[in-house]
Amino acid sequence: MHLPRLTRAFGAAAGGLLGAVFLPAAAAFADDYAIVPDPNSTEVVTGYYGLYTALPAMDGSALGYQTFDVDDTTLGTVVGSFEADESTTSGIFFGGTNQEILVTSDLSGTTGTGAGDVPPVGSVLDTFTFRDGVFENIYSDLPSATAGGDMISDTFVTPFGDFTTPLDFDAAGIPTAELATLITDSYGIVPVSGDDVSAISGIPPLAVATPGSQEFATADGTFDADTVTTWDFLGNATEAILVTSASGTTGTAAGEVPPVGSVYNVITTDFPGYDYVYSDLASTTPGGANDITVTLETPYGDINVPNTFDATADIDAGPAAVPLSGDYDIVPASVVTPSGINGLPPFDVAIQGYQQFDVDNTALGTVAGTFDADVSTAADDFGDIDKAILVTSDVSGTTGTGAGDVPPVGSVFDTFTFGDSGFENIYSDLAATTGGGDVISDTFVTPFGDFTIPATIDAAAGLANDTFLGL
């Protein structure tokens, strides 16, 4: 039996969505100002990462967007507002919660980097709260048009005082041009549109990920793709590409448009001339093998790296059946519609998407109800697979937390399979429909029997109050 890369984080703290909490302004703002969700705004959730996903995306992250206010805490007034993409973890990584926003539009107030200003478009603000709720790390990166460049600050907040950290990581400095050159040189595909960033994840000042979409061209046509750009404080940068539609001559030969479902990934390192290139071209023959190549590019020549990791293997399958109470299971009722990619193939990958599910009565062979969901499938090169479901809409059936009920909107299910070992972890968090609280269960399945694990994570906390995009 192999040792899995991903292991369970026991005792992690619970965390809700950003829309339900107060986010302190980062150190670039004066103490008299704070950034808070606009009381008239409802967070729109656009995607979800499972409890164990591929870094640098955060485990248990819900992605979305919302309107925020800049409050003068002394006067109790609103001095401006802005729209932002956001992500919030459920409290897995490091046993804490992370809240991150990327400013996408300034709506009112004075835009700038001074006290009381509305942060400029492209600003990244992040608050990581440790499990004890006492220690925090507050990061801000405010783009500036002046000669001084971005205003970056990182402060570690403790009961003994606040400390400035030495990391000068630029979370707003997307390395687009460098990666575009590497992609074109390595694959012969040319970006013909800008990267339309639609979300943010990660944990600055360590690393950040910006999912989005982009159009590319080859000699024989064009294709659209879901993308994610990542970069870290060590100077590494990556872009993963998932082909979602193709126009022109499709195939795996040079110059042809890659088939839908193909995955590329480039990793440019802090060592000049050393880059890692991964290509997984989906087979055009039903049941055929994908064309997978991994190349280490060096100043002394390219090295082919033997690797069979298939980043596309679990896209169509999506989450498997999840047991509910009694004789009921959750089973897929449609194929996955991919909506995003994350990770560093060939090491690991996560595919987000939308899917519909049935609540099946396994004893009678009947369907008790149907719901729509955001889904995420993460896999690594050890064979570990994490499949997550976030309920976004109840289509039919009786909504509730009892046997045969359709899980309420905001409910979360997560199944982690430890390779082919016969061990898996099944997590269920049914969002509360009354004041009784969420119904959480966690079961460790083994060849020797099933074991109940004390529920320490509330992945659905705050989710039921939000709006969801999906199918």
Supply the DSSP string of 94-133, one letter for each residue.
Answer: GGSEEEEEEEEEEEES-BSSSTTPBPPTT-EEEEEE-TTS
Amino acid at 67: T
166 conformational bin, left if phi > 0, alpha if psi -120 to 50, beta if neither: alpha
- Residue 368 pLDDT: 93
- Residue 25 pLDDT: 43
The C-alpha angle with vertex 376 and arms to 374 and 382, in degrees rounded to 5, equals 170
Distance CA 336, CA 51 (A): 19
Distance CA 208, CA 223 (A): 26
Q: Are 162 and 156 in contact (CB under 8 A)?
A: yes
Tell me if the bond preceding 37 is cis, omega within 30° of 0. Answer: no
Amino acid at 418: F
Instruction: Give the count of beta carbons closer than 10 Å to the beta carbon of residue 164.
Output: 10
Amino acid at 279: S
- Residue 280 pLDDT: 94
**Those residues with Cβ within 8 angstroms of residue 134's Cβ, 6 or more apart along the chain or in another chain:** 158, 159
Amino acid at 312: T
Ranges in the chain, pLDDT < 70: 1-31, 90-95, 145-148, 314-320, 435-436, 462, 464-465, 469-471
Q: Are 295 and 316 in contact (CB under 8 A)?
A: no
- Residue 288 pLDDT: 82
Give the strand pairing for 337-342 and 97-108: unpaired
- Residue 299 pLDDT: 92
Residues, the chain: 471
The three-class DSSP label of residue 183 is: helix
Distance CA 207, CA 230 (A): 7
- Which of 13, 34, 23 shows the shortest CA–CA distance to 130? 13
Tell me if the bond preceding 143 is cis, omega within 30° of 0. Answer: no
- Residue 263 pLDDT: 95
Residue 157's φ and ψ, nearest 5 degrees, are: -100, 125
Using CA atoms, how far residue 181 sits from 162, 187, 299, in Å, is 41, 10, 16
pLDDT digits (tens, 9 = 90+) for 116-157: 899 999 999 998 888 777 888 889 999 876 656 788 889 898
Q: Are 338 and 351 in contact (CB under 8 A)?
A: yes
Supply the pTM of this predicted model.
0.87
**Those residues with Cβ within 8 angstroms of residue 151's Cβ, 6 or more apart along the chain or in another chain:** 28, 113, 140, 141, 142, 144
Residue 339: exposure state from Cβ atoms within 10 A (0-12, 13-18, ≥19): buried
The three-class DSSP label of residue 93 is: helix
- Residue 21 pLDDT: 39
Using CA atoms, how far residue 79 sits from 9, 105, 108, 133, in Å, is 41, 15, 8, 28
- Which of 12, 21, 19, 23 shows the shortest CA–CA distance to 62? 19
461: which DSSP letter? T
What the block records as the tokens of 44 is 């729109």
**Those residues with Cβ within 8 angstroms of residue 180's Cβ, 6 or more apart along the chain or in another chain:** 191
- Which of 183, 193, 196 shows the shortest CA–CA distance to 215? 193
